[in-house]
A and B are shown apart, each in its own frame.
Chain A
Amino acid sequence: MDTIYIERAVADHERTQRIVARYPSARCIPIERFGDVFNAPAQNFRTQKQAPALLLAQKHGRRVLPTPPAYHIGGKHNFYFSHMLNCVYDCRYCFLQGMYRSANHVVFVNFESFFDDIVTECSRHTEPSWYFSGYDCDSLALDPITGFVDSCLDHFQTIPNACLELRTKSTQIRPLLKRDAMNNVVVAYSLSPEPVIAAEEHGTPSLAQRLEALSKLQTQGWRVGLRFDPILQADNFEALYGSFFQQVFDSIDMQAVHSVSLGTFRLPKSFHKRIVKLYPEARLLATELEQQDNMLSYPAEVESYMMDFCKTRLHQVIRPDQYFPTRPA
């Protein structure tokens, strides 16, 4: 990190001080509100992505939000929260590229405010409620800097009717391995075939590394989830995803997996347009997509075939109650 923007309101926050101390040669720039930098016009997402700045800020307003209807893994009450905005990885299919003007990383250092809101939300429900971290960021990738996982797990330990999903592609699992597994936490990995990772998921750990991390977590008793989303269309689709699933099945105890979700590539139309402007040469964005409502996705018959193929493979090794399609099959 070369540049750290710090909201004046959190300049003295203990977490701010700790993060800044990790980067003694970084230039620290005081700001009033992170939005002044993050939402400014005339930014170049693509350039920033190569050397993003870090913004340390306080999250105001609603911190815990309901998830979209299909975004769940079996719970009745589902919410997401984002202690960070943006991701260290550079996946060409990621909606964040189309959502934000900036590729800089925002860390909201007031984790405790999120946790307070989660407790408040929990108290509204008699059944367990689910909280998804990793919707607007990778839950683990920046953990050595933020220390989010320890804070979050300490908190979730005290509210057993709240369940947490940490969604990631990262192998930064040390804070998880250092502690006892928790029954109300699912560590969910986004997985793709290695050729897809190489072509579209720039800067991410390889499939083998992710599977190794998953295996370690499973061995230590952590509940893990597998997220096959987005599935990408290819002319070698069957061979690509057939061997990929086999590699996953050979590495993980599939019966012990908490949940498996599946979805094909899709993007809101406006996001797709913005991402095409950023990466006109991207092969993934050049494929044939159709518009359904405001979403662009593969033609219905293609999507249906892809979902059926994957579902059939998955159902050979998992139970129906483990399966959560994010797109109807």
Chain B
Amino acid sequence: MPPTTCLVTALSSEARPLIEHYSLSRQTWSGRQLYANENCLLLQTGIGKLNAAAATGALLQAMPDIDSIINIGVAGGKDPKGSIVLATTIVDAGSGKRWYPHLPPVRCLPGALSRAVRTLDEPNMAYQAGSVFDMEAAGIFTAATARMDLSRVHSLKVISDTPGQPFTELNKKEIPGLIKLLIGSLDALMLHLQQSNHGPHASPTEHSTSCLNILFDELIQQCHHTTSDRHTLHRLLQRYQAIAGSLPDSRLVSRAATAASLRRQLQAEICAKPLIY
């Protein structure tokens, strides 16, 4: 199964420690900086929210199986240098647009501070309490939330510059060391995303969904189905599975000669299934 979590960074100095830690290898994809192992991907977008949005959007278009995105990077803020920050709010300082990710439980990331991340178009030294600056998060959220919900997109930052040591004084060689500080929190966040996708309250299991989709694909090959027929058939199969606890026998339903007769047959079988409480 392809990896479904993608880490997104702007700079190579942010990406490098993660590539090393997770033993990621370079992938060939559209000239972009993409790395992968069996569990996760890493996309390096370049600086700025437009680069971040374009690269993230292109990746999600090309790899629709990706179901979670974590933006990793350095940020400026009033908290002590090296503090780990989980974004509670993403603010695009240019447009004023905001995103509120559905956050994991506090206990998942015990050391992380909860802060708003303000995405700026230019670096700034007007550090504010309660929020941190970056230059990509809003771009990543713009692209990612077009394809996934707010429980699957997060931004995890480490404070690199502060009023006492502004970004103009930041030595870029420090960045890998700072990023290493957030790997523990990142592991915890990735585990949370993985568990919430497969836990007892998650959507129907991949197995039951894929069985249904296999049968669906088989049935629509048998005879002509319009788009509307396909929607109706898919829902009938879901209803059958919900009521009967299993899918219909493909040998029986595949005998139907037309889309309409198949639907009638399934409908009749659904009505005949007992519903007992």
Contact = CB atoms under 8 A, between A and B. Distances in A.
Nearest to A29: B88
B224 interface: no
A234 B102 contact: no
B204 A280 contact: yes
A196 B148 CA distance: 33
A124 interface: no
A119 to B, nearest CB: 36
Interface string A1-42: 011010000000000000000000111011100001100111
A190 to B, nearest CB: 16
Q: Which of A27, A37, A40, A46 has the most chain B CB atoms closer than 10 A to its own CB?
A: A27
Contact of A286 (B89, B106, B146, B242): B242
A268 to B, nearest CB: 18
Contact of B277 (A5, A44, A47, A199): A199
B100 A36 contact: yes
A51 B105 contact: yes
A283 B270 CA distance: 11
Contact of B150 (A27, A44, A234): A44
A233 B273 CA distance: 13
Contacts, number: 99
A321 interface: no
Contacts of B146: 42
Contacts of A270: none
Given A43-B149, A47-B149, A27 B106 contact: yes
Contact of B275 (A43, A47, A234): A234
Interface stretch (B1-9, B13-21, B117-125, B233-241): B233-241
A276 B243 CA distance: 14
A40 B100 contact: yes
B185 interface: no
A5 B101 CA distance: 12
Interface string B163-197: 00000000000000000000000000000000010
B145 interface: yes
A235 B275 contact: yes
A281 interface: yes
B88 A281 contact: no
Contacts of B271: 288
A224 interface: no
Contact of B204 (A26, A29, A281, A286): A281
A208 interface: no
A235 B276 contact: yes
Contacts of A236: 276-277
A3 B99 contact: no
A46 to B, nearest CB: 7
A281 B204 CA distance: 7
A245 to B, nearest CB: 14
A285 interface: yes
Nearest to B116: A29
Contacts of B235: 276, 280
Interface residues of A, number: 42
Contacts of B152: 44
A26 B140 CA distance: 27
A48 interface: yes
B151 A48 contact: yes
B227 interface: no
B98 interface: yes
B277 A234 contact: yes
A287 B102 contact: no
Contact of B243 (A5, A44, A283): A283
Contacts of A199: 277
B256 to A, nearest CB: 20
A99 interface: no
A3 B103 contact: yes
Given A232-B277, A234-B276, A240-B277, A48 B102 contact: yes
A193 interface: yes
Contacts of A53: 102-103
Nearest to A41: B145
A209 interface: no
Contacts of B242: 280-283, 285-286
B226 interface: no
Contact of A281 (B103, B105, B208): B208
A280 B66 CA distance: 21
6 contacts: A2-B105, A42-B149, A44-B149, A283-B275, A285-B242, A288-B270
Interface of B: 88-89, 98-100, 102-103, 105-106, 114, 116, 130, 145-146, 148-152, 196, 199, 201, 203-204, 208, 235, 238-243, 270-271, 274-277
Given A31-B100, A40-B150, 15 more contacts: A2-B105, A29-B100, A40-B99, A41-B145, A42-B99, A46-B201, A46-B203, A47-B196, A234-B276, A235-B276, A236-B277, A281-B204, A281-B241, A286-B242, A288-B271
